[in-house]
DNA sequence: AACAACGGTTCAATATGCGAACCAACAGGA
DNA sequence: TCCTGTTGGTTCGCATATTGAACCGTTGTT
């Protein structure tokens, strides 16, 4: 791993829930040496990726990332095409909805939207999604580049008792997803959360990301599952269209087939 | 210069006007070795800062920057981004300084900062600034949305003898502001106050607001004007940067031109 | 076929990053 | 007051990761 990679990985520890980090704290989070981390922080500071909070002396993200984000969005307008379908999806299902994008071998959160319908709801506070344990990640394995599966199988860490930890388990799950057209992660990443997702495609015709609904497992029913799936289809179609892509016919067929007899499927599928 | 710094500097070459760059092209732009640049690009790609356009094979910014921007926006709201430059501006000019934002057709005060240097000083105690009579308002007319002028001309109320009250007067003033890059309101809102302002831009590339200095007219001199203008430029650059924006080149050009021969201009300009 | 430009790779030399150890400042607690 | 545990920051010798000239294979143009 290059020095640059290690440096840039430090930025992943900043989030809305932990927006400012001091040197020692970051060393613990990243499990790194203090001197090294300090030099890394200095490099990030002098390039504008981090700045110091003048009062707390801690480090926080710098203004340059706003600049880069604007360029990215101007280059690949993704975020703008997601807002409306996402709000509609959260409203229709009453559950937290989010969109992820696949870049290289990593699944990133792009946007998320909570529904106020229930007091308890799933919170999407991670930046990158494990391939084997989340609905979005499984969707990428099922419909994304074929070399992703081999990569995922090298890192089958268990998050809950339900997390698939063998290559065979994972293959089976992905096979089901290919057949149904919907990613499903039943308490495999967090104990109380059940995720459902549908793939989204871009103008190159490749898998681009997934739109997902994270439901509280305790209130999940076959009825809710069907409602979520129906609206996932709508959202996936909308977003795919907004991104200039088209849905492969086999995806549409899988969806149609799944929905036509979804009442006969149980929630564990 | 560290390896990481050199790597991160590569990202600066991506912009809305040049959103995708190939290896050789980037080597020329950055005046770097090809092998080195290639490794740098790989580091940026595996951390998600860059991704390959699957059709053109060129590099472009990755989705992770959107994530970082969201965190930054949540960490440092707009108001926080003006504090430090505003204090510096007030300190350097010895005059009351403030920042306004344009929202719809209204110019609001966002923050203000007084300097203790003089016993008499301008007090910014209004919440919204008239478009045709204040430096901030005139700045919005000169660099903001084009439909603002028509709106302003419908309400040319006179505050002092110097307030422009005809559409033609206002057009002339705004024309001067576009040419110089600085808003100027010479006793047109309050009898004893002369305001100078510079525009600030946000991540959308649009006019976002103005940073201004309100000076007591009686002690205004060409020397003070020049000092204020120089520090307005610094503050406008800083705030624009903190808000994730970039200054249009024509603004920078206008400033450079104005400052290069400001000693030949009188205070009434 | 010749040519140029492209992305990508090799390898010796050395610049660069590394981390244990160390400093100074600060903040409770006894 | 001392003691202890923080914090951010620095030093220095060693080892290795980084460097760039040169090279390679492919693609597209003339």
Residue from B3, B8, B9 whose CB has the most chain A CBs within 10 Å, to mutate? B8
Which pLDDT belongs to residue A235?
96
A6 touches A40 (CB < 8 A)? yes
Separation CA B60–CA A159 (nearest Å): 33
What kind and span of H or E run contains B101? strand B96-103
Instruction: Give strand ranges (E) for chain A.
Output: 50-52, 59-61, 96-103, 106-113, 128-129, 183-186, 193-201, 207-216
For B102, which DSSP code? E
Return all residues near A52 (Cβ < 8 A) that are at least 6 apart. Answer: A45, A58, A59, A60
pLDDT at A23 over 80: yes
Do A203 and A93 belong together in one domain? yes
Q: Which of B73, B90, B114 is the last residue of a domain?
A: B73
Q: Same domain, yes or no, for B199 and B101?
A: yes
**Do A170 and A236 fall into the same domain?**
yes
The answer to whether A228 touches A93, Cβ cutoff 8 Å, is yes
Q: What is the pLDDT along chain B (269 residues), one digit of tens a residue?
A: 788 999 999 998 998 888 999 999 998 888 888 899 999 999 999 898 999 888 888 999 999 999 898 888 888 778 778 888 999 999 999 999 999 888 767 788 888 888 878 877 777 767 678 999 999 999 999 999 888 998 899 888 889 999 999 999 999 999 999 999 999 999 999 998 999 999 999 866 789 899 999 999 988 999 999 999 999 999 999 999 888 888 999 999 999 999 987 554 444 44
What CATH code is carried by the domain that includes residue B97? 3.30.450.40
CA atoms of A147 and A152, how far apart (whole Å): 9
Same domain membership, residue A58 and residue A150 = no
Q: What is the pLDDT of residues A33-85, one digit of tens each?
A: 889 999 999 999 988 899 888 778 889 998 888 888 888 988 888 988 898 99
Residues of B in contact with A8 (CB under 8 A): 4, 43-44, 47, 49
Nearest CA in chain A to B13: A68
Neighbouring residues of B211: CB distance < 8 A, sequence distance ≥ 6: B82, B85, B86, B89, B97, B98, B99, B197, B198, B200, B232, B235, B236, B239
State the smallest CA–CA distance between residue A11 and chain B in angstroms.
Answer: 8
A23 and A80 both lie in a single domain: no
Distance B267 CA to D16 C1' (A): 64
Q: Is residue B269 part of a domain?
A: no
Task: Decide if pLDDT at A86 tops 60.
Answer: yes
In this structure, is residue B17 part of a structural domain? yes
Q: Indicate which of B48, B239, B247 best probes the interface with A, i.e. most A CBs within 10 Å of its own CB.
A: B48
Residue A265, pLDDT score = 46
CA of B21 to C1' of D21 (A): 24
Question: Are residues B155 and B123 located together in one domain of the fold?
Answer: yes
Domain closes at, from A22, A48, A66: A66
- Give tens-digit pLDDT for A179-219: 999 999 999 999 999 999 999 998 778 899 999 999 999 98
Same domain, A115 and A230: yes
A60 and A143 inside one domain: no
Helix ranges restricted to H, chain B: 3-11, 23-30, 34-46, 64-75, 80-93, 135-143, 147-153, 167-180, 222-242, 249-260
Interatomic distance B3 CA / C23 C1' (Å): 28
Residue B31: CATH number of its domain: 1.10.10.10
B184 and B58 in a single domain? The answer is no
Whether A85 and A41 map to the same domain: the answer is no
Query: Please, what is the average pLDDT of chain B?
Result: 88
Last residue of a domain, one of B58, B73, B88: B73
pLDDT, tens only, B129-175:
899 999 999 999 999 988 899 889 988 888 999 999 999 999 999 99
Q: Are A61 and A19 in contact (CB under 8 A)?
A: yes
User: Same domain for B10 and B57?
Assistant: yes
CB contact under 8 A, A8 and B63: no
> What domain range includes position B60?
3-73
Task: Determine which helix (DSSP H) or strand (DSSP E) holds A5, and give its type and residue range.
Answer: helix A3-11
| Count of domains forming chain A | 2
């Amino acid at each position: 791993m290059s020095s640059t990679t290690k440096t840039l990985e430090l930025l992943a520890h900043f989030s809305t829930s932990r927006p400012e980090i001091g040197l020692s704290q970051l060393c613990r989070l990243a499990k790194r040496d203090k001197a090294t981390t300090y030099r890394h922080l200095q490099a990030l500071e002098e390039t504008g990726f981090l700045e110091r909070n003048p009062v707390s002396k801690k480090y926080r993200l710098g203004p340059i990332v706003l600049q880069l984000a604007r360029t990215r969005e101007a280059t690949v307008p993704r975020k703008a095409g997601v807002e409306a379908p996402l709000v509609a999806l959260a409203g229709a299902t009453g559950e937290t909805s989010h969109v992820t994008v696949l870049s290289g071998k990593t699944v990133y959160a792009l946007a998320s939207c909570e529904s106020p319908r229930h007091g308890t709801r799933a919170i999407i506070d991670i930046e990158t999604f494990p391939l084997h344990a989340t609905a979005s990640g499984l969707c990428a394995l099922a419909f994304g580049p074929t070399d992703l599966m081999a990569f995922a199988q090298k890192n089958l860490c268990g998050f809950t008792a339900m997390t698939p930890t063998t290559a065979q388990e994972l293959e089976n799950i992905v096979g089901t997803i290919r057949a149904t057209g919907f990613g499903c992660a039943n308490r495999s990443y967090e104990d109380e959360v059940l995720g459902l997702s549908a793939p989204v495609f871009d103008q190159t015709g490749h898998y681009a990301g997934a739109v997902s609904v994270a439901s509280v497992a305790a209130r999940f029913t076959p009825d809710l599952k069907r409602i979520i799936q129906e609206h996932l289809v709508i959202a996936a179609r909308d977003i795919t269209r907004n991104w200039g892509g088209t849905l492969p016919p086999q995806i549409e067929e899988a969806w149609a087939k799944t929905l036509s007899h979804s009442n006969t499927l149980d929630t564990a599928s």
